[in-house]
Structure 1
Amino acid sequence: MTRSLLVIGGARSGKSRYAQTWVEGVDGALAFIATAAPGDAEMRDRIARHRADRGARWTAFEAPIDLPATIRTAEAGAAAILVDCVTLWLSNLMLREHDLEAAAAALMDAIDACRVPIALVSNEVGSGIVPMSELGRRFRDEAGLLNQRLAQMVDEVVLVAAGLPLTLK
């Protein structure tokens, strides 16, 4: 089995379902690392739906900011890990004005050191229109750069569009 997987795609492309199915192909306990913060009712409902989609094999972790440390914690009791999603984590860091280079380097180190299969979900944000705001353009650029770094280091990269996977690497 591939040790590390990056699944990218647009909103509602099927990328999370693809990554979850990949992780569920591993026998044993599974870890789900959520980067979303339940800030409003719609997000709380979304999180609840995602939890309902996973069975008893899954243990959920929340990592809106310290994703690298959570990966290290989760791998201690899991046969495989699913991180959903990298772009939400990035937006959390940006809104709190964290050092993005240091955070990305720490994430790469955590993935590289991870001893169990790990799947990361990320949004492909470069195929749309140019955002109107400076923050939006910066986010698009940072997400694209982070996706490139992740794609270089992981074993496999899959783009999902309209529910259909296309293996890029």
Structure 2
Amino acid sequence: MLPSMTFVLGGAASGKSVFAENIIINSALTPVYLATARVWDAEIKKRVQVHQNRRTSVWANFEATHDLAPVLSDRHKGEAVLIDCATMWLTNHVMDGTDLAQAQSELLQALAGCPAPVVIVSNELGQGIVPADADTRAFREAQGRLNITLAAHADTAIQVVAGLPNVLKGAL
């Protein structure tokens, strides 16, 4: 049985999405994919296509770039939701000049109110070099605060490195 919230964290191309997808598939619940990416350019389009190609027709697919509450509130206990990913969700809010504190509060309320277990994927950005420009440093800080908050609210937190899980909190 899945905990109500599992947080999967890792660097770019670490295997975190595949790991999270497998958590959902192995749960025996109906898999629901909630995609947060907005296609900004050809590179993002290609990455989205890779993720889409991995999923079979068993997945119910939804897209929500900002407000995840409508999709989350419409779930039921026989489902398991994968949100991929918190970093793209945050990017959308930053690019649109959203009040990040308000958006994060609404996200936490939506997660708490979801009747289905949720697995949320996010990027770890704090282990690299200090970015050269102020906007990138501000984004890194916002992502770090979001990750800290999501990990604090999660029942289970897992860091994925080279496709391998490291359980930071809770149990698989």
Aligned AA (2:142): E
Check the 8 A contact 2:73/2:115 in 1, yes or no: no
User: 1:28-47, aligned counterparts within 5 Å?
Assistant: 28-47=29-48
- Give me the whole-angstrom Cα distance separating, in 2, the residues matched to 1:91 and 1:152: 21
**Residue 133, structure 1, aligned to residue 123, structure 2:** no
User: 1:1-169, aligned counterparts within 5 Å?
Assistant: 1=1, 2-73=3-74, 75-76=75-76, 79-169=79-169
TM-score (norm. length: structure 1) = 0.93
Q: Can you list the C-alpha shifts for 1:62-109, whole angstroms capped at 9, x where unaligned?
A: 111112333223x15961100001011101101100010011011111
Check the 8 A contact 1:5/1:156 in 2, yes or no: yes
Aligned AA (1:7): V
Give the match's secondary structure for 1:83. Answer: strand
Give the match's secondary structure for 1:122. Answer: strand
Give the match's secondary structure for 2:12. Answer: coil
- Give me the whole-angstrom Cα distance separating, in 1, the residues matched to 2:150 and 2:36: 17
Q: Can you list the C-alpha shifts for 1:108-153, whole angstroms capped at 9, x where unaligned?
A: 1111111111100000000011111111011100100011111111
- Give me the whole-angstrom Cα distance separating, in 1, the residues matched to 2:33 and 2:158: 19
Ranges in structure 2 where 5+ consecutive residues have no aligned partner = none
Identity of aligned residues (%): 39
Ranges in structure 1 where 5+ consecutive residues have no aligned partner = none
Aligned length: 168
- Give me the whole-angstrom Cα distance separating, in 2, the residues matched to 1:139 and 1:45: 23
- Give me the whole-angstrom Cα distance separating, in 2, the residues matched to 1:47 and 1:77: 27
RMSD across aligned positions (CA): 1.5
- Give me the whole-angstrom Cα distance separating, in 2, the residues matched to 1:124 and 1:113: 26
Check the 8 A contact 1:26/1:79 in 2, yes or no: no
- Give me the whole-angstrom Cα distance separating, in 2, the residues matched to 1:28 and 1:100: 32
Give the match's secondary structure for 2:43. Answer: helix
